A and B are shown apart, each in its own frame.
Chain A
Amino acid sequence: MNLAMNSALNSTINSGMAPVATPWFFYVLAGVAVISGVLVITRRNAVHAALALIVTLLAVTGLYLMLYAPFVAGVQIIVYAGGIMVLFLFVIMLVNIDRSSKERRFNRIWAVGLGAACALLALFVFAFTKGKALFPDRGMPLAEGSNTQEIAKMLYGEAGRMGQYTFAFEIASLLLLVAILGAVIMTKKKI
């Protein structure tokens, strides 16, 4: 009975079940990300912009999940939505919003904005036309079950072999350490 049940379950998983990652979800998440992204740069009120940015980040988290990268999604929530954005809000709340909203803003510099937009467009066009050659065209294996382990192998390596990104990872941590020290030195009046 056990075996029968298990095989029944397995067959459900393998064949009949529709994956959650449907195009419908993609369009919803992408739409949310784009709309809230636009809101981030159009809102005059800095707190509203920060909230819109959080929505963008969460929508992108959903996209990561759809790409079977749950670890990245989890880290995105913890680090960006949970940690960094709270600190953003912490600082923004202390700023005098009435005054800062009257100030001249960087995104009103039309020439720079136009240049940046054109560059981005050129990049997209390039990626669209030549993309096939740049990126591997084979489908990614559905690595959801061992996503975390795969990342660990890349970062730290396995059984005596250094991982692909171990060096870069350590360098990045060193950089962060320097940044922490710098922040402490800059803000602390006496150490």
Chain B
Amino acid sequence: MPNFIMSYLDSKEALTPGSAGSQFWALIYVLIIFAGVSVAVIAMNWIERKLLAHFQVRLGPMRVGPHGLLQPIADAVKLMIKEDIIPAEADQLVFWFAPMIGLLAAFTVYTVIPFGPSQAVSDMNIGILFMLGVSSLGVLGIVVAGWASNSHYPLIGALRSSAQMVSYEVAMGLAVVSAILMTSLNASGTGTLSMIGIVQAQQQQGVWFIFKFFPLGLIAFAIFAIAMVAETNRAPFDLAEAESELTAGYHTEYSGLRWSLFMLAEYAAMIAVSSIAVTLWLGGWMRPFPNLLHAPAWDFIFSLFPGLTFLALAAIALIGVARMPAHSFFRIQRIGLAVFAALLGFVALLLLVIAVAGRSADMSVAGRFNDGIDHVYWFVLKVAVFMYLFIWYRATWPRYRFDQLMKIGWKVMLPISLGVLIVTAIVGVIFS
């Protein structure tokens, strides 16, 4: 394989396509990430419905495909062929454009998310600023949608969401700043705003920022973790679309594909903010203990994890096949699930082969693939934890009221995040 391609697989000295100035590879990366995020959103749809159902002592989708695996596809088809209604009194142009704003903002953020040291579209010098800025643009879509619907419930939803986002962005930003301060605790004394740089700073300092200056990092992380739920309009802060109060909030008047764009944007934004949290506090793409357990043997053991994960998924699917009733009614479902299990098993095998082949020769093709897979795997795993938390919150908690939400944002989170920022700065100066 030519060096040119190799350089993007490599993890140690490689550059992101953006930094290397390769527009072609940047485009490829963008396409991969777009497809990946879309698939992740579809998967999230199924996982959320299944998890929520199991939290709530029901089964969830079971009919379309084995264990409802094809449900998201059926949903997507349904939404696409549904009638697209634009209310007569709505502001046509703005109504039409509003869902795109949210979607654009949610997907643009992914250009700087580092799935690995070189597995990002671009390593921007202002990566984290860019992320915060662009993800905050998503609220414009909601606000404008609520206004353009020319209806009272969407308008209230839009007002709620704009006030909510603006207030939580402040606490969120301050929490982020305290993490950025931590990046400057090195010999040269300069920090970085680059997403990749932040992870590398954690590697250099040998600690995830969530554990840095315990409990300062933890508090900042907690503030961010709360603010990001508010930022993405998820329970218990889902006031903008509170279905029991505002029927559906800002997207009450939307239907069909345009409605599904809002959902797509919401889930994409969830993954994006989770990625920020993972990058800033949880060591981004790094596997656990990269400095402590850095012997090649440990590298090999940890590189087996992706394959083993898929193997476990395949095993779960196989158990599902075995547990399916023997009735002929379930035959097709059983075959389908078996095929799915085989697919997962094949992926697992592939990953294991790559892990074994790439264990010794550092610069071989397999070795580099292996590194890249490792990074993406650990990153995705950490993000998945947040996705699970999002669903868990939704199943457990009631919804906050608007004034309580603002009170928490301004009177609790903002002072705490300011305090953490100041204390972090002082502690940083003392210890450096």
Contact = CB atoms under 8 A, between A and B. Distances in A.
Verify whether A and B have any Cβ pair under 8 Å: yes
Interface of A: 1-2, 4-6, 8-9, 12-13, 17, 45, 47-48, 51, 54, 70-71, 73-75, 77-78, 81-83, 85-87, 89-90, 93-94, 144-145, 147-149
Contacts of B140: 54, 81, 85-86, 89
Interface stretch (B128-136, B315-323, B339-347, B420-428): B128-136
Interface residues on B, range: 35 or more
B27 interface: no
B264 interface: no
Contacts of A73: 126
Give the interface SS of chain B, mostly helix, strand, loop or mixed: helix
A83 B166 contact: yes
12 contacts: A5-B7, A70-B125, A74-B126, A74-B129, A75-B129, A78-B136, A81-B133, A86-B140, A86-B162, A89-B143, A90-B163, A93-B147
B412 interface: no
Given A70-B124, A78-B133, A82-B133, A148 B7 contact: no
Contact of A71 (B94, B126, B147, B158): B126
Given A48-B94, A70-B124, A83 B143 contact: no
B158 A78 contact: no
B169 to A, nearest CB: 7
Contacts of B133: 74-75, 77-78, 81-82
Give the interface SS of chain A, mostly helix, strand, loop or mixed: helix
Contact of B137 (A48, A71, A75, A81): A81
A6 B7 CA distance: 9
B162 A87 contact: yes
A77 B134 contact: yes
**Closest CB pairs A-B (n = 3):** A77-B133, A74-B129, A82-B136
B147 A74 contact: no
Given A4-B3, A5-B3, A93-B147, 5 more contacts: A9-B15, A71-B125, A77-B129, A77-B134, A82-B139
A82 B162 contact: no
Contacts of A2: 13, 363
A70 B162 contact: no
Interface in B139-162: 139-140, 143-144, 146-147, 155, 158-159, 162
Given A77-B130, A82-B133, A147-B125, A90 B162 contact: yes
A75 to B, nearest CB: 7
A138 B224 CA distance: 44
A89 B162 contact: yes
Contacts of A47: 91, 94, 144, 147
A86 B363 CA distance: 50
Given A9-B7, A9-B20, A85-B140, A78 B129 contact: yes
B159 A90 contact: yes
A12 B159 CA distance: 50
A70 B112 CA distance: 14
Contact of B190 (A51, A70, A147, A149): A149
Nearest to B146: A93
A137 B132 CA distance: 35
Nearest to A80: B133
A145 B21 CA distance: 14
A159 to B, nearest CB: 9
